[in-house]
């Protein structure tokens, strides 16, 4: 397949390298010219959890028109860039292109469906994790499953995405109904990203510290109650156990929001805990901790002139 990855950050680089190694004709599309120049000169280097490094050569560009229509276009930009990236990426999308989002948070699919045909749109979640170490070099400390599904009603867009991911060596499955799976990942992110970021803790430290362990649990319980109020069959204890198990396995990994904090960037709090709060308000579910986390992160952003 001809594949374009929109957003060459940590996750875009990891998946782009995988697609290229899987035999797909792959290009990374990003707005940052220094990053694009570095990737074209030296390729992307992926550092595994055990420290092993591999470098993958694949082209990068800031100009989607130079690439032309692709079979698959996968978005990995930050949520607040999805709308502008979707417009910029129009030259990549032809009549038969599958457009996909494996981004964090709730609502990216709706934004993309406002630009592209919803029946050609697939969305999903991935439990892989990545960290940018330096320009063109990315850590891949957490390897996990990816779950995809069709955004539209006919369900045809998920199969090409699954096939492309499988050929690239990723563990992937198709969910008949993807929205509950997105909420399961949203619960994980809501419970772990702001809680780790505000005190500056890595994944292992977050679950090991008793008070923070309990805080993660309570945030997850609130978010699960919201998911269930929306009719999604999400088991509270399964989520809590899965979240703490993942944090233990991730160990020194630093969450995406903590990376935003350290880089002084705007966070994705609006589509994570903010999405939980908005849905809770619709259904009358009390979520005081999620609401407090939104306020704290927005306060941090405000003090730095972000958002």
CB atoms within 10 A of CB 172: 20
What are 209-245's pLDDT values in tens digits?
Answer: 999 999 999 999 999 999 999 999 999 999 999 999 9
In whole angstroms, what is the distance from residue 87 CA to residue 101 CA? 15
- Predicted TM-score (pTM) of this structure: 0.93
> For the segment 264-306, what is each residue's pLDDT rounded down to a tens digit?
999 999 999 999 999 999 999 999 999 999 999 999 999 999 9
The full set of domains in the chain, from first to last, is: 2-176 (3.40.50.720), 180-303 (1.10.1040.10)
The residue among 64, 50, 66 whose CA lies nearest residue 8 is: 64
Q: pLDDT tens for residues 86-95?
A: 999 999 999 9
Q: Which residues of the chain have pLDDT under 70?
A: 155
59 and 67 in contact (C-beta within 8 Å)? no
Tell me phi and psi for residue 132, to 5 degrees: -75, 120
Helix (H) or strand (E) holding 262: helix 256-263
User: Token digits for 274?
Assistant: 């903010």
Instruction: Identify any residues that bridge with 74 across adjacent strands, giving them in sequence order.
Output: 5, 100
Are residues 158 and 122 in contact, defined by beta-carbon separation less than 8 angstroms? yes
CA distance to 34, 129, 186, 304, per residue, from 104 (Å): 25, 11, 8, 23
> Which among 102, 139, 101 is positioned nearest to 13, based on CA atoms?
139
Running DSSP on this structure, what letter comes out for residue 244? H
Q: Looking at residue 253, what is its pLDDT?
A: 87
Instruction: Indicate the SS3 state at residue 55.
Output: strand
Measured between alpha carbons, how far is 39 from 64 in angstroms, rounded to an integer?
A: 16
- Residue 122: predicted pLDDT: 97
pLDDT given at position 155: 67
């Amino acid at each position: 397949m001809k594949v374009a990855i929109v957003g060459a950050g940590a996750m875009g680089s990891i998946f782009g390298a995988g697609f290229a190694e899987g035999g797909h004709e792959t290009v990374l599309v990003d707005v940052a010219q220094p990053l694009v120049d570095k990737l074209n000169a030296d390729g992307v280097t992926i550092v595994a959890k055990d420290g092993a490094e591999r470098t993958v050569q694949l082209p990068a560009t800031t100009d989607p028109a130079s690439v032309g229509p692709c079979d698959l276009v996968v978005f990995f930009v930050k949520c607040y860039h999805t709308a502008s990236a979707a417009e910029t990426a129009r030259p990549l999308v032809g009549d038969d292109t599958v457009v996909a989002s494996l981004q964090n948070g709730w609502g990216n699919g709706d934004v993309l469906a406002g630009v592209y045909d919803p029946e050609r749109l697939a969305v999903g979640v991935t439990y892989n994790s990545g960290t940018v170490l330096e320009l063109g070099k990315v850590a891949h400390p957490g390897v996990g499953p990816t779950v995809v599904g069709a955004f539209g009603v006919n369900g045809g867009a998920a199969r090409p995405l699954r096939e492309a991911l499988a050929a690239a060596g990723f563990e992937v499955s198709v969910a008949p109904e993807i929205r509950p799976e997105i909420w399961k990942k949203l619960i994980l992110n809501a419970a772990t990203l702001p809680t780790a970021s505000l005190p500056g803790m890595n994944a292992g430290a977050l679950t090991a510290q008793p008070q923070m362990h309990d805080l993660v649990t309570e945030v997850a319980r609130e978010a699960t109650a919201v998911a269930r109020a929306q009719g999604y069959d999400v088991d509270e204890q399964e989520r809590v156990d899965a979240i703490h198990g993942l944090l233990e396995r991730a160990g020194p990994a630093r969450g995406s929001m903590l990376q935003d904090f350290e880089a002084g960037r705007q966070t994705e709090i609006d589509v994570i805990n903010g999405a939980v709060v908005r849905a809770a308000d619709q259904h009358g579910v009390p979520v005081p901790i999620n609401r407090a986390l939104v306020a704290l992160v927005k306060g941090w952003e405000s003090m730095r002139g972000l958002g």
